[in-house]
Chains A and B, each alone.
Chain A
Amino acid sequence: MNRLEIHDILFKVEKPARYLGNELNSVHKEVDESTVRFAFCFPDIYEIGMSHLGLQILYKLLNKQENVYCERVFAPALDMEQEMKENNIPLFGLESRNPIKAFDFIGFTLQYELSYTNLLNMLELADVPLYSKDRTKQHPLIIVGGPCAYNPEPIADFVDIVILGEAEEVILEIINAYKKRKSEESFSRRDFLIEIATIQGVYIPCLYDVDYNEDDTIKGINPNTEGIPKRVTKRIIKNLDDAFYPEEFIVPYINTVHDRIVLEIFRGCARGCRFCQAGIIYRPVREKGFDRLKGLTEKLLENTGYEEISLASLSTSDYSKLDMLVRHLIDEYKGDRVGISLPSLRLDNITLQLIEEIQKIRKTGLTFAPEAGSQRLRDVINKGLTEEDLQSAVKKAFSLGWTSIKLYFMIGLPTEIYEDLEGIGQLAFKVLDAYYSTDKEKRGKAINITVSASTFVPKPFTPFQWEPQDSLEAIHQKQRFLVENIKNKKITFNYHDAKTSFLEAVFARGDRRLSRVLAQGLKAGCKFDGWMEHFDFDRWMQVFEECKIDPTFYANRRRDYDEVLPWDHIDVGVTKKYLIKENEKARSGEVTVDCRSSCSGCGVNKGIVGGIC
């Protein structure tokens, strides 16, 4: 296949390096008849997509396989999209510059509900029919995965294969099954989909029918073909030390959001914050061993030349060998000026001493996430930290010279009242007081506290999956209250646009009827909805009206425990019974301890792990 000619276009667009495809450690392969070609698509621009760890892992894993060629595709920025349309250039794989229309698989990672329109737009740019039912043998199979794939129902009509859970093993099983069938004369898409539907972690939406009640709730979700499981179970990697992890990352030419080595230290989270989807769907906790991480670090630094390494997980300070690992990294790579960043630190067991050591190499800011302003509400959401924890942590931080502190909160949490919101301001002012009470000799100059408030979005598979989201009016009122409440020159207050959170809530807990809305949204020109400059709320509301679908049915309605939820046929290991128990505990403000201290019986050890986590 010939490379598409894009050279002249590159002179016309912004940041042309987004489309080069030949960055360090990118893979370029010879293609023949037997090659299985896979387009790994990220439904947002290059700078966002290249910061995604899953892409780096699966790209290298797939390209390590013989006869498999995986290439990257990102949503072209609007100027590039325009040029491509004017020059009749279909969406192409960055590495080969071949149209992805001719590939075997087009895979999308679903990180954010508001990127669904970009997914559709990319299919359209690729000249691939949107609906699964309209595609034939000569079209690629559309495969999706990632956190939003746990409730893939809003995009169920567009995709062929959904991967539930960690993909490292199951994606190879799917591709190997496909390799066997690919060359057969009699290859049938449907037969192939039926064949792989019994693999654990594979969900084929077209093999299930959804029936609805008169009140628009769901009556039932059932397989429409014999031999198809009634419930589909997620996949996990049991031993992370044995699992594939890349020893080289693609190193972008241009600055991306996270332009550094990401070293994944464990999966899962033991904390059980009740708003957090990741905390449930990635269970159980599985750590990587120190020796494995040590070896990977050495290879990754050598192969990339990066000057920074980030230790990634859902709650980095919970890694059992964090101290040992960080000290090793400091000792070994101090001379090369390799900086270490520790995102997702909890302030209740924050190891400030460790951070102090790290700061000697490269300095970073400090971020804390109390999530709620009062102890009562923090207990409701099971964010097990106290005001004293925060106080002692920031006091220490100020005395070590930090002057920039970020505090993250959510508003619109279940049971929230205005006293909880007042608590947000009070907490910020207490942090400021802690700064002023720090010894002038020790503290740095020019204190700045940033308070950010995002809007709570109830997510599937969390104890709050039945809860309504606050109405837009209620959120706007709360935001205004906070703006009035947090007026201080030293405190910057930011809040997240509530309208995007509303749409996120609609699609997060949506069902198959929303596929129609998304297709209509694409027609109306909705794309890059996660970008404030492109997001058009009124246009979306018009689309819902045209489709005769009420978005508040999905976002603002309280569900009964016995209602059939659109994702009830998907099993993430944690039982519904446990989620109900947790929601009830939330209502009475009762906390649940860290599951390493005491098993709270979420169920993941029964179906998924088998035995003790």
Chain B
Amino acid sequence: MYKLRSRFSKNGDIIFISHLDVMRVFERALRRANIPISYTKGFNPHPIMAFATALGLGVSSDAEYIDIQLDEKIELYDFIKQLNNALPKGLTIIESSYISSKEESLMSVIKRSVYLVNFKLKDAVSKEDIINELNKFKNLEDIPLEKEKKKKGKRKEKTIQIVNIRPNIYGIEVFSLEERNAIIKMDLAAGSVANLKPEIVISKINEHTRLDIELDTIRIHRIKLFKEVNGSFVTPLEELKTL
């Protein structure tokens, strides 16, 4: 039994397929590429593979991660080449590494994600203005978000819970600004413990600052995904246990 961890990108038209679709696309691409994948046992066998996070529909990324289990060991170069040949345009394996079977699951180790968020402002602003506004936003101690929660066991009843999203924001900075077109870089909590979506942060910036954002022009791109090892944040392919 061999475990492979890979980083892949999702760009172009393929950003319009959902996380579930990506899983199916990988499953079939692995079969076409004749990669000796391991299957789950039981009535409905599936390849043994796991993703780091579910990327939202319409979000592009250069930092998606997948663990795949193989029955036989194959050369990394062949794995990447064969699989990339079988994957649709826009999904590309960038790097792969065999990892120890003791390695914790991707889903459980992911802590942070860095995004570039592209959008249009209703009016042109100066770089100074946008920096000031974002600083004002970062200085807020409490950024409340209303969350609908389903009541346990009751399908229709919902309660509204208010959470503070500020602790889940690690950084926000201006990446570029050209007249009304802005790109903001955000470093946010990601993973199973805490997770904050960039579109929520943008809508909160719109709400709490003087920046007037055209919400339907928001385009999100993930550039990094981090796990935490001894207090420092590294990518899932770094600081691996020895094989």
Contacts and interface: CB of A to CB of B under 8 A. Distances in A.
A302 B32 contact: yes
Interface stretch (A15-23, A30-38, A233-241): A15-23
B242 to A, nearest CB: 33
Contacts of B86: 305
A464 B216 CA distance: 56
A83 to B, nearest CB: 11
A24 B13 CA distance: 13
Interface string A299-325: 000111111000000000000000000
A12 interface: yes
Contacts of A24: 28, 88
Given A12-B216, A20-B13, A24-B88, A253 B21 contact: yes
Interface stretch (B39-47, B121-129, B143-151, B166-174): B39-47
Given A22-B89, A254-B18, A337 B45 contact: yes
Contacts of A303: 32
A307 B27 contact: yes
Nearest to A22: B13
A20 B27 CA distance: 20
Nearest to A11: B58
B31 A336 contact: yes
A336 B32 CA distance: 11
B32 A305 contact: yes
29 contacts: A10-B58, A11-B58, A11-B216, A11-B219, A16-B16, A16-B57, A16-B58, A17-B16, A17-B21, A20-B17, A22-B13, A22-B89, A24-B88, A251-B28, A253-B14, A253-B17, A253-B21, A253-B88, A254-B18, A255-B21, A302-B32, A303-B32, A304-B28, A305-B27, A305-B30, A305-B31, A359-B43, A361-B45, A362-B45
Nearest to A335: B39
Contacts of B234: none
B243 interface: no
Contacts of B27: 305, 307
Highest count of chain B CB atoms <10 Å: which of A24, A253, A359: A253
B158 interface: no
A363 interface: yes
Size class of the B contact interface (CB-based, 8 Å): 20 to 34
B28 A254 contact: no
Contacts of A251: 28
Given A304-B28, A362-B45, 19 more contacts: A10-B58, A11-B58, A11-B219, A17-B17, A17-B18, A17-B21, A22-B13, A24-B28, A253-B14, A254-B18, A255-B20, A302-B32, A304-B32, A305-B27, A305-B30, A337-B39, A337-B45, A359-B43, A363-B43
Interface of A is mostly: loop
Interface in A572-600: none
Contacts of A255: 20-21, 24
Contacts of A337: 39, 45
A545 B33 CA distance: 60
Interface in A340-363: 359, 361-363
A22 B88 contact: yes
B29 interface: yes
B90 to A, nearest CB: 9
Contacts of A10: 16, 58
Contacts of B219: 11
B25 A253 contact: yes
Interface of A: 10-12, 16-17, 20, 22-24, 251, 253-255, 302-307, 336-337, 359, 361-363
Nearest to A336: B31
Contact of B28 (A20, A306, A359, A361): A306
Contacts of A361: 45
Contacts of B88: 22-24, 253
Contact of A362 (B29, B44, B57): B44
Interface of B: 13-14, 16-18, 20-21, 24-25, 27-32, 39, 43-45, 57-58, 86, 88-89, 216, 219
B59 to A, nearest CB: 10
Contacts of B31: 305-307, 336
Contacts of A23: 88
A10 B14 CA distance: 11
B198 to A, nearest CB: 14
A223 B165 CA distance: 75
A336 B43 CA distance: 14
A251 B29 CA distance: 11
Contacts of A253: 14, 17, 21, 24-25, 88
A80 to B, nearest CB: 12
Nearest to A21: B13
Contact of A254 (B21, B43, B216): B21
A363 B58 contact: no
A426 B122 CA distance: 69
A92 to B, nearest CB: 15
A81 to B, nearest CB: 18
Contacts of B29: 305
The 6 tightest CB contacts between A and B, nearest first, are A305-B28, A363-B43, A305-B32, A16-B16, A305-B31, A253-B17
Contacts of A336: 31
Nearest to A251: B28
Nearest to B58: A11
Given A253-B21, A305-B28, A20 B16 contact: yes
Nearest to B33: A305
Contacts of B89: 22
A363 B44 contact: yes
A337 B48 CA distance: 13
A16 B59 CA distance: 13
A362 B28 contact: no
Contacts of A307: 27-28, 31
B121 to A, nearest CB: 17
A16 B45 CA distance: 29
B32 to A, nearest CB: 4
A254 B58 contact: no
Contacts of A16: 16, 57-58
B228 to A, nearest CB: 32
A20 B17 CA distance: 10
Contact of B17 (A254, A306, A359): A254
Highest count of chain B CB atoms <10 Å: which of A11, A254, A255, A305: A305
A405 B27 CA distance: 30
Nearest to B30: A305
A12 B216 CA distance: 8
B83 to A, nearest CB: 11
A12 B58 CA distance: 10
A24 B25 CA distance: 10
A336 B25 CA distance: 16
B31 to A, nearest CB: 4
A306 B28 CA distance: 6
B48 to A, nearest CB: 12
Nearest to A20: B13
Nearest to A23: B88
A254 B45 CA distance: 20
A251 B26 CA distance: 12
A256 to B, nearest CB: 11
A176 to B, nearest CB: 34
B224 to A, nearest CB: 23
Contacts of B25: 253
A11 B31 CA distance: 31
A27 to B, nearest CB: 15
A264 to B, nearest CB: 21
Nearest to B42: A363
B46 to A, nearest CB: 8
B96 to A, nearest CB: 19
A304 B24 CA distance: 12
